[in-house]
Amino acid sequence: MKPPQQQRGNVEGVLLSRKLFSSLLIALIVSLGLVCLYYGTSFAPGLRHRDHHPADGSDPVFRSFVAAASDEDEYPSSLSRDAADLVVKSFPVCGMRFSELIPCLDRNLMNQLKLKLNLSLMEHYERHCPPPSRRYNCLIPPPVGYKAVIRWPASRDEVWKVNVPHTHLAGEKSDQRWMVVNGDKINFPGGGTHFHFGAARYIVHIAQMLKFPNDNLSNGGNIRTVLDVGCGVASFGAYLLSHNIIAMSLAPNDVHENQIQFALERGIPSMLGVLGTKRLPYPSRSFELAHCSRCRIDWLQRDGILLLELDRVLRPGGYFVYSSPEAYATDEKNRRIWRAMSDLVQRMCWRIASKKNQTVIWVKPLSNGCYSRRDPGTTPPLCSSDDDPDAAWNVPMEACITPYSKSK
Ligand SMILES: *[C@@H]1O[C@H](CO)[C@@H](O)[C@H](O)[C@H]1NC(C)=O
Ligand SMILES: *[C@@H]1O[C@H](CO)[C@@H](O)[C@H](O)[C@H]1NC(C)=O
Ligand SMILES: *[C@@H]1O[C@H](CO)[C@@H](O)[C@H](O)[C@H]1NC(C)=O
């Protein structure tokens, strides 16, 4: 049957628009392909800087963006005006000079914003996030030549050097066996400032001090979470895993810069942070054991406020393992600090569980009993009853003891 004239006209029209559509589609695919190819090569690590690496270290693709964003004071008005209600579909990559930017811990920005930070309170190691107009909205690029990470458990002992291109710590801490440069890798022999002979032996020593069965620090599963304060490259936390213990390792970006970068590259739970003026970001009673070996913290400052913060995050009967000259050195200065610390922890109702071989282990009480038996007016006071011990985000520390809730 012959189709009517009108219908044929329609069919031709459809065919024509189909042709047009498919050629448009092909053009679109080709141009997308070209765009991908261009961006693909400029994102590929190692390729990026081979040909056109501008002197300022910024990425050629996004140079204009980065130049605007990194400008000291001036932002293009469109960027600052729209930054708050920007709906982002994709992020550009930041220039290479931002490859180690940590947005809320950016010392350069803190200087530029002229924040009044009290260095003796360590406020400069605390979080200070940029206002919306100073946010970069770009992705931090990996270091040039970045390799796929070595996976746990091999990563406990080695990482690619090119992934954390900072080796001055290896030189500085070589005698303490923190880490050793070995060709294109960095090795971690497991040492620390206090435990040159390795974290594994040190952990067994702690378990022995506490008379735990089988020299196993987990004590039959009673110790599961540990907070390591001033952790270095976090070897202590790394070796706790074989005792079935998860440690959170904490250190600031201080003179041992990049220590947390190494810890994270090794796959050890860790975070940049400091005992300064704000609570640690954990609810009360988060950890069964806290540890500090030569963490260089003055625990006596401000009426013991930092030790009281450790006390808050320790569970009932939790331990504080302290390996530091203050606990064992015999010179007058360290003896004086030891006496003052002993006095403070006694008023906090801690008692010594064991003291041996340059390490003291205190244990926190199991109930409120000891607190209520203290002489009236004894410092530190108990925190007020409207204090929420589990509020942890951006909460200022206070020099008070967090009691257990009444129902306990
Ligand atoms: C820093 O804090 C300490 C302790 O609170 C205080 O004595 C000192 O005056 C403060 N310094 C500055 C510069 O604010
Ligand atoms: C320690 O004990 C835990 C169980 O409580 C076990 O999983 C772990 O393998 C033990 N580790 C060592 C080193 O003995
Ligand atoms: C601890 O000290 C004792 C004697 O004081 C010694 O025999 C032992 O080897 C020491 N242990 C460690 C781990 O240093």
CB 205 within 8 A of CB 262: no
Ligand 1, atom 11: closest residue by C-alpha? 118
Q: How many helices (H) and strands (E) does the chain have?
A: 12, 10
pLDDT at 297: 94
* Amino acid sitting at position 181: V
Mean pLDDT, consecutive 10-residue stretches, the chain (408 aa), reads 44 48 54 44 37 38 38 43 66 90 90 93 94 90 94 94 84 74 89 80 96 97 96 90 96 83 93 96 97 94 98 98 93 96 98 95 97 96 96 96 80
pLDDT at 256: 73
Query: Of all helices (H) and strands (E), which one includes residue 169?
Result: helix 168-172
C-alpha 114 to ligand 1 mean position (Å) = 17
Residue list, ligand 3 pocket, CB within 6 Å: 205, 357
pLDDT at 177: 72
C-alpha 270 to ligand 1 mean position (Å) = 29
Ligand 2, atom 14: closest residue by C-alpha? 216
Q: Which of 394, 385, 390, 231 is nearest to 297 (CA)?
A: 231
C-alpha 357 to ligand 3 mean position (Å) = 6
Burial class (CB in 10 A: 0-12, 13-18, 19+), 40: exposed
DSSP string, 46-115: TTTTTS---TT---STTHHHHHHHHSSS---HHHHHHSTT---SSPPBPPGGGTT--GGG-HHHHHHTT-
pTM (two decimals): 0.78
Sheet holding 351-356, edge to edge: 270-272, 246-251, 225-229, 287-293, 314-323, 359-363, 351-356
| 121-164 confidence digits (pLDDT tens) | 999 999 999 999 998 889 999 999 999 999 999 999 999 999 99
Q: Which of 183, 291, 273, 170 is nearest to 228 (CA)?
A: 291
Ligand 3 atom nearest the C-alpha of 357 is 1
C-alpha 273 to ligand 2 mean position (Å) = 29
If one counts every other C-beta atom within 10 angstroms of the C-beta of residue 9, the result is: 11
* Amino acid sitting at position 38: Y
- Three-state secondary structure call for residue 401: strand
Which of 118, 119, 306, 397 to mutate to test ligand 1, by most ligand atoms within 8 A of the CB atom?
Answer: 118
pLDDT at 166: 83
287-293 and 314-323: which strand pairing?
parallel
If one counts every other C-beta atom within 10 angstroms of the C-beta of residue 333, the result is: 10
Class of domain 154-372: alpha beta
pLDDT at 37: 41
Q: Where are the domains of the chain?
A: 28-145, 154-372
- Three-state secondary structure call for residue 321: strand
Residues whose CB falls within 8 Å of the CB of residue 44, separated by 6 or more in sequence, listed in order = none
